Amino acid sequence: MNNSNLKLTPMKKIIFTLAITIVMAGTMLSSCQSQADKVREAQDKVLAAQNKVNEAKLNLDQVVKDSVEQFRKISEEQINTNEKNIAEIKVRIAKEKKENRAIYEKKLAGLEQQNRDMKKSLEEFREDGKENWRSFRTKFNHDMEKMGNAFHDFWTGNR
């Protein structure tokens, strides 16, 4: 082989350099474009996920609100039932022997006060977070259950 065939003329050098530069520029541009597309696509996915999270939060807030409203309604009904039970017990106490009447009236006064406190607590409760709601609901249900047991056991020997 002859070395003269491998020599590049100045024009060939310019064309060769230009061709390499164009290939490199094309490669860089195509890779940059795809990276930009990938970034835009990832941003779109993040935005879509954020929208889903926001929608889920709104749905959860509505569920909590509905739950609170239902709880209030049921609790108010139970408090009204307690008031009716108290009225019935008052009538029955009036028919009791004088020596038992004072004991029963004292027990009943405690139940009346507890029922008023429960009613006030329910009226004053404001929804200011799920944790506060859960805590309130748990305590309220516990107190309501204790009160129900007290009504159930009112006439037993446990004075």
What pLDDT digit, counting tens, does each position of 53-84 carry?
A: 888 888 888 888 888 889 999 999 999 999 99
pLDDT at 127 over 80: no
pTM: 0.64
pLDDT at 145 over 80: yes
> How would residue 111 be classed by pLDDT, with cut points 50, 70 and 90?
very high
Minimum mean pLDDT range among 4-8, 25-29, 76-80 = 4-8
pLDDT at 158: 46
Q: How many CB atoms are closer than 10 A to CB 34?
A: 10
pLDDT at 159: 45
pLDDT at 7 over 70: no
Mean pLDDT of 1-21: 68
